[in-house]
Amino acid sequence: FPYYMESLYSYYHDQRRIIDLEFEHVSPIFAKEFLDSIIREGDKVLREFDMQVSIDSLEYLNTELAETKLLNIKSSINQMILSQMQTKMTTQLGYNYVVKPIDPPFLPLTPNRPSRSFINLVGLLGGLVAGILLVLMRRFSSFNITKQK
């Protein structure tokens, strides 16, 4: 879990009210699925919370409506009931209730890490240095396999 938290970057822009989420992982497929699940689960939690608040509010308002005798208060309670019914309806209407992705997570067309050319260059230079050191050690060492016979 701490590894994933270190790989997850989030930035909140106050003026635009936008959250940027980034996730770095060796597998771009895993990174995409991880971000998708964060967005989906966050939206689901907020939707369920608002749904429960709306249901509780409707129960309370309906009991108050039944107990109230004044017409003006009944009219106000009916307006609040209508507002809570709209909230309940929007929570039941599918995805993107609160979180609306501007750019959904995507798979990159070309890998950006690790650089294959860099790995090849390091391997080539390492092999070259090791080969030169081996040749120099054999050349200048007093121990020689061919002279032992």
Radius of gyration of the chain (CA): 32
CA pair distance 83, 75, nearest whole angstrom:
13
Q: What angle do CA 96, 77, 48 make, to 5 degrees?
A: 25
- Percent of the chain exceeding pLDDT 70 equals 92
Q: What is the per-residue pLDDT across 54-82, written as a single tens digit (0 to 9) for each? A: 999 999 999 999 998 888 899 999 999 99
Q: What is the per-residue pLDDT across 121-133, written as a single tens digit (0 to 9) for each? A: 999 999 999 999 9
Global confidence as pTM: 0.64
Which residues have CB under 8 Å from 124's CB, separation 6+?
none
Helix boundaries (H) for the chain: 2-7, 28-67, 71-91, 116-140
Kindly state the DSSP code that residue 101 receives in the 8-state scheme.
-
